[in-house]
Amino acid sequence: MLSADWTRAGADIEAAERGGAGVIHVDVMDGRFVPNITVGLPIVKSLRRATHLPLDAHLMIEEPGRYAEQFVEAGANMVSVHVEADRHLHRTLTGIRARGALAGIAINPATPLVAIEESLADADYVVLMSVNPGFGGQKFIPSSIDKLRRLRRMIRERNLKTRIEIDGGVDQGNIAEVAAAGADIIVAGTAVFGTNDPERAVRELREAAVQWV
């Protein structure tokens, strides 16, 4: 939703849903963990009323443990927090799960996978950032593909069911490669809401994603 026009968010979500979108991803930014400020709890509450799709709140904020459970209360079905921002990741993930939502760990491009190794079993999904978080419309960082493959292997070796969500710069040109490398959930912002036909954009992305798999 980072690339959405908020005055018509409800209509755009419906269009994305018709195109086959499975999850609505909301980027929450605080102006501290990332330079940008976006939306908070009231918007998540409104979105909850606007769609039946699962809401995925990606918290790009400092001290996410202070707010994560409030996002579940606001209606998020999935809440992810950054490993770089949380000194007590285990507690935060456990709290999200205890409230009944899926708990995710988000990880920046420059952060090594070893930083989340101990927490993988406590997470339902990992948000692998394929751009530096903070703004929409950035270019996909090519080394993310190799990182994605290594994360897939790490999860498999531990016999875990942790899903991988990839976030940033995915479009029709690279979605097949991203899907083939092992992403379970693919976030698209500009590629969907940056167009004037979100329904068609989602449908074309879904078709492109399965092309080479």
Which of 27, 56, 86, 171 is labelled catalytic? 27
Q: Which of 27, 30, 165, 171 lies at the binding interface for Zn ion (CB under 5 A)?
A: 27
Closest CA to 95 of 105, 106, 103: 103
Q: Which is nearer to Zn ion, 5 or 118 (CB)?
A: 5
Contact letters for Zn ion, residues 101-140 (x by CB under 5 A): ----------------------------------------
Strand partners, 92: none
Shortest Cβ distance from residue 159 to Zn ion (Å)? 28
Q: Which of 12, 56, 167, 199 lies at the binding interface for Zn ion (CB under 5 A)?
A: 167
Residue that is written with structure tokens 């710069």 in the block: 169
Shortest Cβ distance from residue 129 to Zn ion (Å)? 8
Which of 30, 56, 86, 167 is labelled catalytic? 167
Give the CA dihedral 157, 143, 165, 171, nearest 10 degrees.
-140
The yes-or-no answer on residue 27 being catalytic is yes
Strand partners, 128: 107, 166
CA–CA separation, 116 vs 151, rounded Å? 10
Q: Does 147 bind Zn ion (CB under 5 A)?
A: no
User: What residue is closest to Zn ion based on CB?
Assistant: 58
Q: Which is nearer to Zn ion, 58 or 147 (CB)?
A: 58
Q: Which is nearer to Zn ion, 76 or 158 (CB)?
A: 76
Map the footprint of Zn ion across residues 36-65, applying CB under 5 A.
Answer: 58
Q: Considering CB under 5 A, how many residues would be counted as binding Zn ion?
A: 3
Q: Which amino acid is at 143?
A: S
CA–CA separation, 62 vs 105, rounded Å? 14
Catalytic positions: 27, 167
Interface contacts to Zn ion, rule CB under 5 A: 27, 58, 167
